[in-house]
Structure 1
């Protein structure tokens, strides 16, 4: 049957039982280096003989797709496909499938956790107490704050609901403006520039703009409310990291709390080491439940295109 490449870090370090469905269907699993994001050289070595690919967030170049001469389907264990050269996959007739909303709860809960950590300076306080000090910085409350949410999809909606329950004034920007449903009366839609300008806490839950430029660049940072908190659990490219540093130094952004970086892991001495940055290591979807849901959906998507021996026998 088919050879299937497995590259997400969460699946290569501890292969979950959900992958066994592929083996039961008669497929052979090929794993990239355990717990690491494969680079182009490793992918070029692994892809030539595979027909299916359960892919993570690793960057995939046009050269990798060109080398994958037998590839029929790429199944992401998440919703984003910014790391894939979609023009090339489309030209080759390679199906690209996503595990939509599988990690929404995990990412949303991390975004809320980062907001609370930023408001109460929890990392600084915990580090100080651990070192034998007794830091007591004055915190901020979400109650009464204006929380801006960019992107009201599965993740953004969950964040909006929690923030509204904490009595924040929630403004959302989303070009599609999906129906608010249970959020009606708790969340208000506004244009993107208004959300960016008014937010005390801004949290990003959207894809990259079509032109690939950062959503939060130097010009936008100038319009934001001084001392605001910026949270990014979506995509590193949404924020201009170079422009953000002076905004942090000048206090225009009080805290940048992020789970994503342009280079992962980030280089020593870079933005992640800034004292006004709360950095996590791309763990938004790394919960037991999120990994299970995402893997189940990704495997089902693979089996829809590469049915296996049971289907063939029937």
Structure 2
């Protein structure tokens, strides 16, 4: 068995190996020296600049790996993303400096998709409102809607988007999808209809975002799109907050341009805005970026991110290489 006694690995995700110790044991079995984040918080850019200096590999969560940080990484050979999104990593710098980047796209897709379906039911059956009113001893009826026959539009039909599509079909929903890479075989099997972005926005009862954040997707959904949506549409975002213009979202909710939203990713200032606008409180559901965080997904992300790193050092084929 190959061992790398002198290789140092920085592990930043706070939930890494929090469910089982298998990810740590996998790395220790190879003789790596492990630097584990035990602060209970994300590392800042300044902290990352200091910690990255002499490590050979890093398992990264949402901590910053921008150019300023990576310039300090004199020995870094591989970045193993604990999760899917890589917008906190300067991929161009990594590519230009021969730093390999991997991620774990299959580890958390079901967990995120289940949260999307939870949001759909929560809005359709007005669960948040019902809970609040019932605790206030309200005894009237709260009338919701079934999801049978409703249309969900999925922006980004990757692994998570496909998992959402399969679940939605199981609920007898119509599924529309928009993606730059169309998987016709999947679409035929699950009766998914590919449409362009505008038609998806116009025709969907539920719109679920599963897009990376980049120059093309930033503020992809703003006032123009809200004006095109159905007035009873629900917007769901479990991807990256920058995909949606949150100021325009608030305006759309206040002015009843759409029925509601559910966000697992958002800027913190949004909470204060919502609290200052009681009219929209029941219209928007917020959760603390927990889509990928089920016990099962956390364990899988840990194991896969550790295995990706080991595969790199053993010169094996990387199944989830980003750069």
Deviation at 1:140, TM superposition (A): 1.9
Shift of 1:10: 1.5
Correspondence 1:108-147 to 2 at 5 A: 108-134=113-139, 136-147=141-152
Which residue matches 2:260?
255
Contact (CA 8 Å) 1:79, 1:98: kept in 2 or not?
yes
Counterpart residue number, 2:272: 269
**1:225 partner SS:** coil
Residue aligning to 2:80: 75
Root-mean-square deviation (CA, aligned residues, Å) is 2.2
Q: 2:287 aligns with which of 277, 280, 290?
A: 280
Shift of 1:114: 0.9
- 1:104 deviates by 0.4
**Conserved in 2, the CA contact under 8 Å of 1:78 and 1:103?**
yes
1:150–1:173 CA contact under 8 A, matched in 2: yes
1:59 alignment counterpart: 64
Task: Tell me which moved more, 193-202 or 42-51.
Answer: 42-51
What is residue 304 of structure 1 aligned with on the other side?
Answer: 311
1:259 touches 1:279 (CA, 8 Å); kept in 2? yes
Q: 1:226 aligns with which of 224, 228, 231?
A: 231
* TM-score, normalised relative to structure 2: 0.87
Structure 1 residue 69: deviation in Å?
1.6
For 1:27 and 1:44, the matched residues in 2 are separated by: 21
Match of 2:44 in 1: 39
Deviation for aligned residue 1:115? 1.0
Work out whether residues 19 and 295 of structure 2, in 8 Å CA contact, stay in contact via their aligned partners in 1: no
Match for 2:179 among 152, 174, 196? Answer: 174
Listed one character per residue, the Cα deviations across residues 152-173 of structure 1 (whole Å, up to 9, x for unaligned) are 1111111112212212221111
Question: Structure 1 residues 52, 135: closer, same or farther in 2, change over 3 A?
Answer: farther
Q: Who is 1:16 aligned against?
A: 21
How much has 1:217 moved relative to structure 2?
Answer: 1.3
Indicate the SS of the match to 2:262.
strand
Q: Does the 8 Å contact 1:209/1:215 carry over to 2?
A: no
> TM-score with structure 1 length normalisation?
0.90
Q: Deviations over 1:268-311 (max 9, x none)?
A: 51458851210111111111211122111111111123359xxx
Show structure 1 runs of 5+ residues with no match.
309-314
Q: Is the 8 Å Cα contact of residues 235 and 261 (structure 2) preserved in structure 1?
A: yes
